[in-house]
Structure 1
Amino acid sequence: MTRPGDDPLIIEARLRRARRDKWLREGDMSVGRRFAQIGVLGWIFVVPTLGGMFLGRWLDEQFGAGIFWTAPCLVLGLCVGGWTAWNWMNAK
């Protein structure tokens, strides 16, 4: 048996109301704060990507593999950066 509080629609309605109440109390974010968030989001995405690339180049130098490790580590860094950015944007 489910309780009325377990309904996803009710949960989302309460979450929306809480966000609206917070907005009414605090108002909109400043332009500077929005730019800061965009900058942080960029760094959250770029740092793991570059880290994967540097790790791949280092592994290639260690094993003399040409660019064998660079591509997979770069893709892994992109995935980690994208996942981290997604979680940061959707944090509650």
Structure 2
Amino acid sequence: MTASGGRPDGKMEEAARLAAKRVRRLREDPEPSFASRLGQIGVLGWAIVAPILIGVAVGRWLDWALKTGIFFTAPLIMLGAAAGLWTAWRWMHRQ
């Protein structure tokens, strides 16, 4: 109520309306569980690591076959890292 005893305070009504809206939103779209978050972290980790490992494997094989030291391994690691980070970036923005 206002100080004069008239209508209920508009600020209180607005606060109650916002609280009800928050509760409704949480019911409709709940926060992901802890296990779900861990799963997402695992997917992101593998999305970055897998292309790097593929780059290492292909680079080592090319270096072995062509007897070139680490001529192919180093750039393929960098390309794998770039591909993995780009893939992870795209996946995060789709979530």
Aligned partner of 2:74 in structure 1 is 71
Using structure 1 for the length normalisation, give the TM-score: 0.73
Aligned length: 72
User: Does residue 1:56 correspond to 2:59, yes or no?
Assistant: yes
1:79 shift after superposition: 0.5
Structure-2 change in CA distance of 1:23 and 1:76 (3 Å): farther
Separation in structure 2 between the aligned mates of residue 23 and residue 58 of structure 1, nearest angstrom:
52
Aligned partner of 2:43 in structure 1 is 40
1:26 shift after superposition: 2.5
Letter matched to residue 88 of structure 2:
A
User: Does residue 1:30 correspond to 2:53, yes or no?
Assistant: no
Using structure 2 for the length normalisation, give the TM-score: 0.70
Separation in structure 1 between the aligned mates of residue 34 and residue 84 of structure 2, nearest angstrom:
25
Aligned-residue CA RMSD (Å) = 1.6
Aligned partner of 2:18 in structure 1 is none
Q: Structure 2: 5+ residue runs without aligned partners?
A: 1-23
Identity of matched residues, %: 46
